[in-house]
Structure 1
């Protein structure tokens, strides 16, 4: 039996039990004195407080208790999921809301693996950044998360609270893949099926990171338009044009969605004349053939019903045309 339990048992025991039968003290020792009763109550309170402290410690260990942490002791997740967290109007509204009404929803952190006494954010980066800007403690749940647990929590919280744009999801998936995470973990973090995961990773590889950073998250630009931009940028000349567009002062002054629209529209306009099919017409104005650029080169198509023998004529004269082209 523990020492405190022995003491408690002694003080809870009637005094008469400790007095020999027939003793003159037996009649006067039936009720414990006030001091003894008070000490027994104190022991009861100590025991209750110890049990409460033990329960509280268990809740903290499970991450069920909200704690207030110094934001300077917190670092972001090892995988970034946002292209720009602080420039959009929503973030300024968040800062103003926390300044006026306090932080209503706690963030989730884990003890930092490499820095004792520090923490790492799983989700709630924007709330943490806002509290850090306001120089106030941040409310947080602290849980011992594995790397996989952290990125899954990070991705799911984004999906439930503030959806990532298509390109942010693509870069997030690419970051996780570069960290060595299995496809199943990445799919769970982003809540996507395998085919969509393949498209996300393909776009992240095909569009240079510098272009994505310059354009920004572009929340209104969905998958089809990002795929179109990636197809346009397969041409090295288009990449050179986009570099020039990004360096224009007017490009930097507008929002992310407008930057995306400018880039896509300008690349479409500069590509269209060169890539538009050319139609061949005979003397009567009939369309007898077309010339179309392809990813691998150039293709000529002729309607031999309208221009019989044209194919043989071109083949016979093609060597002379090539020689004329190569001559100085």
Structure 2
């Protein structure tokens, strides 16, 4: 028998001794209905939406997500950092810029710690106010923050933009101290070293808030001049002098730097000088005070402000002899009046 025949016989005999194979079972074929397919698509969409929501939540937590927020839902920071947020020409410029070009730089908000559904500003108060005035949503990054995180972010933004005056920084430091923040937090918020922080707090303690708010931010008045004002306010009757001044129409109509000058001038005048009224002022083309002319019982005192027009004082000194000569020349052509040399010669 051939080898292949032997193999066939062996397989045939083995198969004969086994149970016959069971008939094949036809597998059930599932045919998805339209409803089932739609349910699958819905589940896929829900999963995608959940992943997107998680990503947005992570972005919001990191302050990376820029949202459009209704300004009516935004409250200011608990720490005041400006004497006047909307009462100056710079704010009007900001409003016009946003009206024309839109808001380019987002503000930083946190979910309000006490009012659900509302927000609190870390920085960007003026942009929020401008958006509210224009009836626009404010573009904002929203990030959960502690009180300390908020004031540090607020202070650092102000330091980087350099748009707070000395007295505003001083009041910001004093308010944070009054709210119980420690000195390291104050220094971090204002990017100030210990000695500088001490000066901020000293000026803020020595000048009443009502005086600062009456004057305004006075960005051209630095620490030395605010220290001068603090010293002048210690004199007897000084607060009453300032209260009388800030009620005057001329004071109310003046810009903030001019108001500072007016307060200093009023406190420096003696009672005798006060009888002669306010000093006459000569302004440079920029509008800044260049010359101050003050009359008293001795005559006329002229004060030139060198920093307004560098070199002007030297120019004035050089021209004074010519003015004296011109005066004498005109006097000699006059009607013989007895006119004396102002120098006493």
Matching of residue 136 in structure 1 with residue 136 in structure 2: yes
Tell me the distance in 1 between the aligned counterparts of 2:47 and 2:72: 37
Q: TM-score by structure 1 length?
A: 0.69
Matching of residue 151 in structure 1 with residue 151 in structure 2: yes
Runs of 4+ in 1 over 3 A off after TM superposition: 22-25, 35-50
Q: Secondary structure at the match of 2:270?
A: helix
For residues 5-61 of structure 1, the C-alpha deviation after alignment (integer angstroms, 9 at most, x for no partner) is xxxxxxxxxxxxxxxxx9999xxx9xx99x999998887666545433322222123
Structure 1 residue aligned with 2:180:
180
Deviation at 1:178, TM superposition (A): 0.8
Which residues of structure 1 form unaligned runs of 5+?
A: 1-21, 274-328
Which stretch of structure 1 is more off in the superposition, 59-68 or 178-187? 59-68
Deviation at 1:237, TM superposition (A): 2.0
For residues 157-186 of structure 1, the C-alpha deviation after alignment (integer angstroms, 9 at most, x for no partner) is 111124210110111111111111101111
Deviation at 1:135, TM superposition (A): 1.6
Taking a change above 3 Å as real, the CA distance of residues 39 and 243 of structure 1, as seen in their structure-2 partners, is closer
Tell me the distance in 2 between the aligned counterparts of 1:159 and 1:196: 14
Structure 2 residue aligned with 1:121:
121
Matching of residue 218 in structure 1 with residue 218 in structure 2: yes
Structure 2 residue aligned with 1:105:
105
For residues 280-300 of structure 1, the C-alpha deviation after alignment (integer angstroms, 9 at most, x for no partner) is xxxxxxxxxxxxxxxxxxxxx
Structure 1 residue aligned with 2:312:
none
Structure 2 residue aligned with 1:251:
251
> Matches of residues 180-199 of structure 1 in structure 2 within 5 Å?
180-199=180-199
Tell me the distance in 2 between the aligned counterparts of 1:38 and 1:45: 11
Number of equivalenced pairs: 251
Q: Secondary structure at the match of 1:81?
A: coil
Tell me the distance in 1 between the aligned counterparts of 2:38 and 2:170: 67
Q: TM-score by structure 2 length?
A: 0.66
For residues 75-114 of structure 1, the C-alpha deviation after alignment (integer angstroms, 9 at most, x for no partner) is 0000110000111111001111111221111111111111
Structure 1 residue aligned with 2:71:
71
Tell me the distance in 1 between the aligned counterparts of 2:79 and 2:130: 19
> Matches of residues 262-301 of structure 1 in structure 2 within 5 Å?
262-270=262-270
Tell me the distance in 1 between the aligned counterparts of 2:154 and 2:103: 19
Structure 1 residue aligned with 2:334:
none
Tell me the distance in 2 between the aligned counterparts of 1:168 and 1:194: 18
Structure 2 residue aligned with 1:94:
94
Q: Secondary structure at the match of 1:236?
A: coil
Tell me the distance in 2 between the aligned counterparts of 1:58 and 1:208: 45
Tell me the distance in 1 between the aligned counterparts of 2:213 and 2:204: 12
Structure 2 residue aligned with 1:170:
170
Structure 2 residue aligned with 1:284:
none
Tell me the distance in 2 between the aligned counterparts of 1:201 and 1:245: 26
Tell me the distance in 2 between the aligned counterparts of 1:107 and 1:173: 22
Tell me the distance in 2 between the aligned counterparts of 1:248 and 1:139: 41
Q: Secondary structure at the match of 2:82?
A: coil
Structure 2 residue aligned with 1:54:
54
Pairwise CA RMSD: 2.8
Tell me the distance in 1 between the aligned counterparts of 2:152 and 2:39: 52
Tell me the distance in 2 between the aligned counterparts of 1:52 and 1:184: 39
Q: Secondary structure at the match of 2:131?
A: helix
Tell me the distance in 1 between the aligned counterparts of 2:45 and 2:251: 69
Taking a change above 3 Å as real, the CA distance of residues 266 and 62 of structure 1, as seen in their structure-2 partners, is same
